[in-house]
Amino acid sequence: MEISGKIALVLGGAKGIGKHLGLSLARAGATVILTYHDWPEASATMQRELAGLGGDHLACQVDLRDPDQISDLIATIRHRFGGLHILINNIERGGMPVVHGPYLPEQWELEIATTMKAKWWVMHSALPLLKEAAEGAVVTLSSIAGLVGRSGPAGLLFNDAYSAANRAISSWTETWAREAAPRVRVNELMLGLFETRHAEGTRGWDLMNDEQKGELHRHTLLGRTGRIDEVIKAVRFLIQDATFMTGSVIRMDGGYVLGGEKIPPMPAGVL
């Protein structure tokens, strides 16, 4: 699937991974719709960068927790661009225990509404338009929080509702792949600790001390956190090259999930 000439909707585009994914697709020749909601300074910077690339791109302010606003967004895309080929379902709101402390009801609701419900409503609304195209690709970004929860050194970063929401996503990936076939492929990229997401460039990372950060690195087999450019390459693979892959989950975590169990030396044995 060629990216050039396609229409791409990228959620969570104000900053971080979402913004850089959107700009990367625009540079590759796609017409990009980047959504934002809050983060006014970062959103303004994103809009300037997107406009600087030229082309008929769109930065759209929308609260993706509201199904009516999602419907309006898809209607705008249909009216202005005539179709949709690529969806990067990136919207989320994490709750870091090191930042938020014990749960308040509104924080729980925010994590569930943004990380879980919004992804479902966007896919529900966008899929009919995606299926009208000759070919399409959806990449949902999720987190290893759905596997490890609030445990180990990542217990400072992954809250309960955020973890539960991410566990639901993989089930939906399989459902959406069935609904979208055969012309639209749906895959999931499950991320570990990345800059601007769970690691450097987040408020929670800066609140942890060197020992806590070191524990996270030691728990990761590759001994470091991930880079945004590595996410971009993986997403580009899923869109462009993974032509016989749908309903799949790629875990990209540097080996964090495996890192808790070490391999002991081989014993001498008794024979």
> Which CATH number do you get for residue 21?
3.40.50.720
For residue 86, the enclosing domain spans 7-249
Q: Quickly list DSSP for 102-120.
A: S--HHHHHHHHIIIIIHHH
φ, ψ for residue 151 (rounded to 5)?
A: -140, 155
Q: What element of type H or E holds 20? A: helix 16-27
Confidence tier at 177 by pLDDT (50, 70, 90): very high
In a domain, 224, yes or no: yes
Provide the whole-model pTM. Answer: 0.95
Confidence tier at 150 by pLDDT (50, 70, 90): very high
Q: How large is the average pLDDT for residues 159-171?
A: 95
* Whole-Å CA distances, 114 to 68, 91, 248, 268: 15, 7, 22, 53
pLDDT at site 262 = 82
What is the Cα–Cα distance from 190 to 57, expressed in whole angstroms? 27
With 90 as the cut, is the pLDDT of residue 168 above it? yes
Residue identified by tokens 């609140």 is: 207
User: 117-131, 138-152, 177-191, 255-269: which has the minimum mean pLDDT?
Assistant: 255-269
How much is the mean pLDDT over the chain?
Answer: 96
* Whole-Å CA distances, 161 to 42, 75, 91: 26, 31, 15
In a domain, 161, yes or no: yes
Which two structure tokens, joined as six digits, stand for 29?
Answer: 């020749």
- Nearest partner of 90 among 17, 24, 41, judged by Cα: 17
Q: How large is the average pLDDT for residues 17-33?
A: 98
Sign of CA dihedral 123, 143, 102, 63: negative
In a domain, 171, yes or no: yes
Task: Identify whether the C-beta of residue 161 lies closer than 8 Å to the C-beta of residue 111.
Answer: yes
pLDDT in tens, 192-228: 999 999 999 999 999 999 999 999 999 999 999 999 9
How many separate domains does the chain show?
A: 1
In a domain, 262, yes or no: no
Q: Quickly list DSSP for 213-259.
A: HHHHHHHSTTSS-B-HHHHHHHHHIIIII-TT--S-EEEESTTTTTT
In a domain, 106, yes or no: yes
With 90 as the cut, is the pLDDT of residue 94 above it? no
Q: How large is the average pLDDT for residues 72-91?
A: 97
With 90 as the cut, is the pLDDT of residue 264 above it? no
What is the Cα–Cα distance from 92 to 110, expressed in whole angstroms? 9
What is the Cα–Cα distance from 249 to 264, expressed in whole angstroms? 29
**What percent of the chain is modeled with pLDDT above 70?**
100
Confidence tier at 248 by pLDDT (50, 70, 90): very high
Q: How large is the average pLDDT for residues 122-134?
A: 97
In a domain, 236, yes or no: yes
In a domain, 201, yes or no: yes
pLDDT at site 219 = 96
pLDDT at site 261 = 82
pLDDT at site 61 = 97
Torsion, CA 79, CA 81, CA 86, CA 88, rounded to 10 = -70
Task: Identify whether the C-beta of residue 197 lies closer than 8 Å to the C-beta of residue 165.
Answer: no
In a domain, 26, yes or no: yes
Confidence tier at 41 by pLDDT (50, 70, 90): very high
Q: How large is the average pLDDT for residues 22-36?
A: 98
